Amino acid sequence: MQKLLTLAAVAWLALPLIALSGLTLPARADAETVARSNSDCAALLERWAGDPKAAPKRDIAACKDQLAAAPPVVADPASDAPTPAALASTDPCSGANAGDSVLCWGPWAALAPAAAAPLVALNLPESPVDCDVISELAAQCVPKLEPVLPIEGCAPGTPCGFATIVGGPTSTGDPENTEFGRFNLAPDGTTFNVSPESGDDINSVPMTTTVTPRPDGYGNLRSTGREGDVGSRLIARVAEDDDGEVLLAADIWTHGTRDNAQSGYFAWGTTTSQAGLNALNAGNVTLNFSGPMSVNNASTGNMTLKFGSSPTWSGTWTNPAYSFGAGGVVSGANLISQPGNFTDNVVGTGNFVQGALVGEAGGPRGITHIIDVTLAGQGRIKDVGLLRDVLPGLPVGP
């Protein structure tokens, strides 16, 4: 009897398991999405349109696909409620604040390249977001651009000079007929080259040189040469190294025949190396420069360069008849003015100051530069000049 009671109890306990084994259990809902009716999807999309955090992006995408495939619904003209199709096309992640919501971010396809040395944009607004974030936000970034230089710029650690160019042997002409170009000088002073903005290069003939001391610390270089009817000449103040190689030079050049000559003024040196520029920026160094211009040596230029993460410069040019100021950005070894940084007496369009930092710390250092400005009551001025560095503690002046 005891065994019969035990078998009956076991059978009774097994009945629920036998019954359950004959049932078909409902499938587990997909871990990624939850099935919703069209009306539920419409309500979800309406909430999501105002709040990207209302649901994960996969659920939103599923509802968009579902409503896009649904039969068209005739809208009640009196109703302000959005149609499913309108909700399906709503995307709050296309707005200006999309980057604030992680639910609007897609997969990280690739990291944006790291920023290079500061490349300063001219008159561009600040970027709305950091351009070094994920690539999906790249369209919202304002690209940083190299400044546009009127004359070809100079790479760090390379010879760099500027020149004025006029017809005839006098070196001076009307500003409207004066052209700018790049200038290069052999370190021993025996040849030079001028590359105008337009036209063929001007290449000197080989010259012999002499250098005599000057009371201002420069040497006085005279170089002359002739091949047949063609002659070349330099008269320049120079700074030399211990081996007699020219490091900085400025003033007069002439080339051509008696009946067909070209001439002008120049300023030349070798731009600061990339290592030197890096040290100036890392140390947030401020440098001051001063010196006479070459076309009109009654004009004195004074410039201050402030290095750091975004290097800038400012300067003034004074003459018994006029003065003006300008400022701009430093990009590598190059300097270029910004239109909004001129003083009010600089009028019209096309005004600019362009230059380059030449020399290294511990040696002769300067700025080679050109100016092309129109001043109220004075007219157009074109000039070129070499400014020398001013030691800390000394005033910036002539």
Reported as a single tens digit per residue, the pLDDT across 175-233 is 999 999 999 999 999 999 999 988 899 999 999 999 999 888 899 999 999 999 999 99
- Check whether 298 has a pLDDT greater than 80: yes
pLDDT band, residue 43 (cuts 50/70/90): confident
Hey, which of 70-74, 100-104, 283-287 has the most confident mean pLDDT? 283-287
Q: How many CA atoms lie within 13 A of 391 on its CB side?
A: 4
Q: What is the pTM of this model?
A: 0.64
> Of residues 152 and 368, which shows the higher confidence score?
368
Backbone angles phi, psi at 207, to 5 degrees: -130, 155
Neighbours of 93 (CB within 10 A): 18
Non-local CB neighbours of 100 within 8 Å, separated by 6+ positions: none
- Write the DSSP assignment of 67-78 as a string of letters: HHHSPP-PPPTT
pLDDT averaged over the chain? 79
Instruction: Kindly report, residue by residue over 145-172, the tens digit of the pLDDT.
Output: 566 788 889 999 999 999 999 999 999 9
- Check whether 291 has a pLDDT greater than 80: yes
**Mean pLDDT computed over 14-33:** 42
In terms of residues, how long is the chain? Answer: 398
H helices present in the chain, as ranges: 2-21, 38-50, 57-69, 84-89, 274-282
Q: Do 33 and 62 contact (CB within 8 A), yes or no?
A: yes
Residue 106 pLDDT: 45
Choices 3.40.30, 1.10.3470, 2.60.40, 2.40.160: CATH for 274-390: 2.40.160
- Check whether 104 has a pLDDT greater than 80: no
pLDDT band, residue 123 (cuts 50/70/90): very low
Give percent above pLDDT 70 in the chain: 69
Least confident of 26-35, 79-88, 193-202, 214-223: 26-35
Residue 20 pLDDT: 39
- Check whether 303 has a pLDDT greater than 70: yes
**Mean pLDDT computed over 116-121:** 41
Residue 390 pLDDT: 86
Q: How many CA atoms lie within 13 A of 139 on its CB side?
A: 7
Non-local CB neighbours of 265 within 8 Å, separated by 6+ positions: 163, 164, 171, 250, 251, 252, 253, 294, 295, 383, 384
> Of residues 99 and 112, which shows the higher confidence score?
99
> Of residues 4 and 73, which shows the higher confidence score?
73
Going from the C-alpha of 169 to that of each of 178, 218, 264, 370, 383, the distances in angstroms are: 13, 25, 8, 21, 17
340: which DSSP letter? G
Closest CA relative to residue 312, chosen from 345, 279, 334, 290: 334
Q: Which residue has the tokens 């490349």?
A: 119
pLDDT band, residue 94 (cuts 50/70/90): low
